[in-house]
Amino acid sequence: MLTTVRKATARIPRRLRLPLAGAVALAVAASGLTLAWPDEGGHLTANRAQLRRACGGLLPYGELAGRVPDAVRAKLDQYGTLLQPGEESRSLLNCTLDWQGHGGVHVEAATLVNHLPYELKTEDLLAPGHEAPGVTGRDSDDEGRLWVVAECPAGLTGRARPSTQMYVSVGMDKASVRTRFRIAVEVAAGIAEREHCGSAAALRPPTRVIDTYEEHDADGGPVDSGDYGSVRVEEPGRGIGKCRWMTARSRAGSAPLRGTWTATGDLQRSRLLSVCRAERWNDDRSAYTDPQPAPLEPVTADATSWAGDLGRSAYRDYERDGEYPGFDDRPDTLTDTDATLALWARSECAAGPTYHRVSVRPNLDEAMDGASRLSRTQRTQMSTHVRQLMKAYLSAPEGWPKAQHCHDTEVLGEVEQWT
């Protein structure tokens, strides 16, 4: 089309060329056609200026400026109450800045009046992933985006009621976990400062990120697919101090768990959540540790706490699956070896009302032969184990509840997680 225009104007007297060319251009525009030039560069300055303004100006420019391309123009899509005051939205911020073919960044922020769109159950908090000490949040290996939770003690305005906590999630192509953690924390700090609801200084970008589950071959290199014979696993959370109460050796029957245990915990150093798990299992021998557990004696134990609005979000995760006190009193007939008994409690702690959940999985290897029905004595024995575990958790000198000054605890009840 453009070549035809140039050839036509070459045969017209010079004094008439510009008006005719302009007329052709106007005709093209009037016809509804768009002459799209391919992106070939020259967009760096505009893209960096857009980066400064995008997402309410909350994106960390220093962290992202070096990633801005020159070859293409950025595409921005954003909404939220931080950008359109007075408009109803479930989000404080929902923003995508995309450089086609060169990656992009997506940031979402919302009060915890809204449900955190990531599972907060014990097993989810202990799944392989990445954590940053001093930051409440995770990047799980099986999820697409990283999330953090931050406090705003003076209150954020939510859709239904004020909230003192918010979550920020980040998805970004071709970026390290550390970079995504830093973006999330800086966005949260910016929101806290703009909303005058908390101290931005308390939210500091992490200096390090820890892989919670690392696999290596015998030489310390990466594990090739199918190379299961020489895998060495490193768990930085193994033996963490706040969980040592679970592995205390029995003295005059005072320990909460009999036998030899290995404990693992999260690395977040958070006042909003904590999780510990202990197992009576020897990985090297692929067998239970000595002495061998008796039938119905605990072989796995968990202890988890969630504070404030985060606690309500976690409790909803269990409610959705019918795993909360009072939902159902199941018959004491067990059909699989993963049957678990949990006990819930609620306390007042440093960060507000807090849910605690402890659970035990008893040794059912010898007891299971099809469906097995617990006797009243056996069911009482399981209840005793889980209640002793809760008591030990709440009173452990090095444990999370003591560190967070939890008090006025109310036991909410047991949950039979079996069918």
Torsion angles phi and psi, residue 240, rounded to 5: -60, 145
Cα 369 to the chain's mean position, in Å?
39
Write the Ramachandran bin of 31: left for phi over 0, alpha for psi from -120 to 50, otherwise beta: alpha
CA 99 – CA 76 distance, rounded (Å): 9
Q: In the prediction, which pLDDT does 288 show?
A: 84
Q: In the prediction, which pLDDT does 190 show?
A: 94
Q: In the prediction, which pLDDT does 370 show?
A: 56
Q: Which residues contact 77 (CB under 8 A, 6 or more apart)?
A: 95, 96, 98
CB 342 within 8 A of CB 390: no
User: What tokens were used for 85?
Assistant: 């005051």
- Give rounded-to-5 percent helix, strand, coil for the chain: 30, 30, 45
CB atoms within 10 A of CB 413: 12
3-state secondary structure of 311: helix
Burial of 124 (0-12, 13-18, 19+ CB in 10 A): middle
CA 307 – CA 272 distance, rounded (Å): 5
List, edge to edge, every strand of the sheet that includes 146-156: 75-79, 93-98, 104-111, 163-172, 146-156, 137-140, 129-131, 210-211
| Three-state SS sequence of 109-156 | EEECCCCCCCCCCHHHHCCCEEECCCCCEEEECCCCCEEEEEEEEEEE
User: What pTM was estimated for this model as a whole?
Assistant: 0.85
Helices (H), 297-370: 308-320
Torsion angles phi and psi, residue 24, rounded to 5: -60, -45
Question: pLDDT 10s digit of each residue in the chain, 419 long?
Answer: 334 433 333 443 443 333 433 333 333 333 333 333 455 679 999 999 999 999 999 999 999 999 999 999 999 999 999 998 877 788 999 999 999 999 999 999 999 987 898 999 999 999 999 999 999 999 987 766 899 999 999 988 755 678 899 999 999 988 999 999 999 999 999 999 998 888 766 788 899 999 998 877 766 666 665 565 677 778 899 999 999 999 876 544 456 788 889 999 999 999 999 999 999 987 777 788 888 888 888 999 999 999 999 999 999 999 999 999 988 777 788 777 788 999 999 999 999 999 999 999 998 876 655 567 888 898 999 999 999 999 999 999 999 999 999 999 999 999 999 87
Q: In the prediction, which pLDDT does 371 show?
A: 64
Terminal-to-terminal C-alpha distance of the chain: 71
